[in-house]
Amino acid sequence: MAYFLVLGSGKGQVPLINKIKELGHSIVSLGPSFEACDFLSNEEKLKINLLDIENILEFARSRKFDAIISNQTDVAVPLWATLAKELNLPGIRESDACLFTDKSAMRERCEIIGVSVPKYKVIEDLSGAISFLKSTDKNIVVKPLNSQGSRGVEKVSREDQLPWAIKNAFENSNPKGSAILEEFCDGVEYVVQGYVVGKKYINLGVAKREYFNSSVSFIPSKTIFNDWSGDLVKKIIRDTKKFVESSSLDFGFIHAEYLVNDVSGETNMVEIAARGGGEFISSHLITHHTGIDFENLLIKNALGEKVYLDREKLLKRPTMYMSFLLPEGKITNVDGFEEFNSSENIDVSYAIKQLNKIDVVKNSGDKTDRFGPILLFGDSLEELDGYAKQVIEKIFISIEKRPNSIIWG
């Protein structure tokens, strides 16, 4: 059996770690916290910041790992590239790691290959941000140049909002002190999920995404996979394939995000990553949607094995995740989750685990405030809608004296 080095210890790594162990392989997981992976023994984990490349390299060289692997996290991508090169193991190249994590490099490549992106500017001080805001009649979005999730992302409409937004973006960027600004584009957000086999992009699914109501933050509430169709959907699939195949990726998940305006016909890529979608998109939703377990393929690829994929066998079954928010305060009552304990179509286990670990809700204003995800699996959108209604009707959470405090998207 093989010896795996797993980069990351958050909840997104749990399905991958479990699968590797079920196959009989050994692992060591690296990460700053093992709250989500509390089932690992001391020999199976090393508490360390994934940005501490020198010490991680020293540790990796001291062991005879057969494979390096990670999923659902951007932070691990540059580290995977460095380790793959130093240990001569399958993985992502350093140039591709930069392309898929640095928002400036990403947008420059889009401009070269003809993929539309919002008007943008990289800045290193407040004056550059003020200049960009004054140059457009649209609201703008301030983002860290290189970060994970929605940390440090703010929507700005006025100059007086810029100092805080820029400070927040700078602090959440790696390295700190740089940000990218882009015009805010109206439209529906679509998520494109794919996999690379032998340098060729294979599309696995397209989802529509909904957000919680917020004037400044971007926190997804639902991501719904279905057999979405139409010329604009076909275009974003083509653009994803064009971008991916302009790189030198050999294998692995792809997660891209677009804003699509059905009225104007405009599509803009806003993100693309060389990893699977978070909130168990790549581990659970895509498995149901396509009928194929792609994390199994990732494990084989990480071991240097070649895989074959018959595109004709890919299904397009509807599936989704839904999340919820809670106001700050002490949790006084949780009820209704037991209704779904034996359900094959509604998985509430991750929300239960999350709630079991906290007594008091404290919010940060980003994706980490979400509870869940609650995963829904069906054969039609009507079924999914019915399951979602059951969840909303039966689950109750009280914060202090408020009888049901759940905020659904």
- Mark whether 293 and 328 lie in a shared domain: no
pTM value is: 0.96
Phi, psi of 7 (to 5 degrees): -95, 105
- Mark whether 75 and 131 lie in a shared domain: no
Digit-coded pLDDT (tens) for 338-385:
999 999 999 999 999 999 999 999 998 888 899 999 999 999 999 999
pLDDT in tens, the chain (409 residues): 999 999 999 999 999 999 999 999 999 999 999 999 999 999 999 999 999 999 999 999 999 999 999 999 999 999 999 999 999 999 999 999 999 999 999 999 999 999 999 999 999 999 999 999 999 999 999 999 987 767 889 999 999 999 999 999 999 998 888 999 999 999 999 999 999 999 999 999 999 999 998 755 789 999 999 999 999 999 999 999 999 999 999 999 999 999 999 999 999 999 999 999 999 999 999 999 999 999 999 999 999 999 999 988 999 999 999 999 999 999 999 999 999 999 999 999 999 999 999 999 999 888 889 999 999 999 999 999 999 999 999 999 999 978 899 999 8
Residue 108 lies in a domain: no
- Mark whether 138 and 207 lie in a shared domain: no
- Mark whether 131 and 192 lie in a shared domain: no
The whole-number pLDDT of residue 335 equals 96
Q: How many helices (H) and strands (E) does the chain have?
A: 12, 20
- Mark whether 161 and 264 lie in a shared domain: no
**Owner of token pair 């240990």:** 87
Omega before 373 cis (within 30°)? yes
Structural domains counted in the chain: 4
Tell me how far apart the alpha carbons of residues 389 and 255 are, in angstroms, rounded to a whole number.
28
Residue 112 lies in a domain: no
The whole-number pLDDT of residue 177 equals 86
- Mark whether 54 and 123 lie in a shared domain: no
- Mark whether 36 and 157 lie in a shared domain: no
Domain that holds residue 166: 119-183
Tell me how far apart the alpha carbons of residues 22 and 40 are, in angstroms, rounded to a whole number.
13
Q: What is the CATH number of the domain that holds 129?
A: 3.30.1490.20
The whole-number pLDDT of residue 216 equals 57
Q: Which residues contact 341 (CB under 8 A, 6 or more apart)?
A: 348
- Mark whether 81 and 131 lie in a shared domain: no
The whole-number pLDDT of residue 298 equals 98
- Mark whether 262 and 146 lie in a shared domain: no
- Mark whether 241 and 296 lie in a shared domain: yes
Tell me how far apart the alpha carbons of residues 375 and 76 are, in angstroms, rounded to a whole number.
25
Residue 95 lies in a domain: no
- Mark whether 63 and 126 lie in a shared domain: no
Question: Of 183, 214, 233, which closes a domain?
Answer: 183
Sign of CA dihedral 395, 398, 403, 408: negative
Residue 291 lies in a domain: yes
Digit-coded pLDDT (tens) for 70-80:
999 999 999 99
Residue 319: CB atoms within 10 A of its CB come to 26
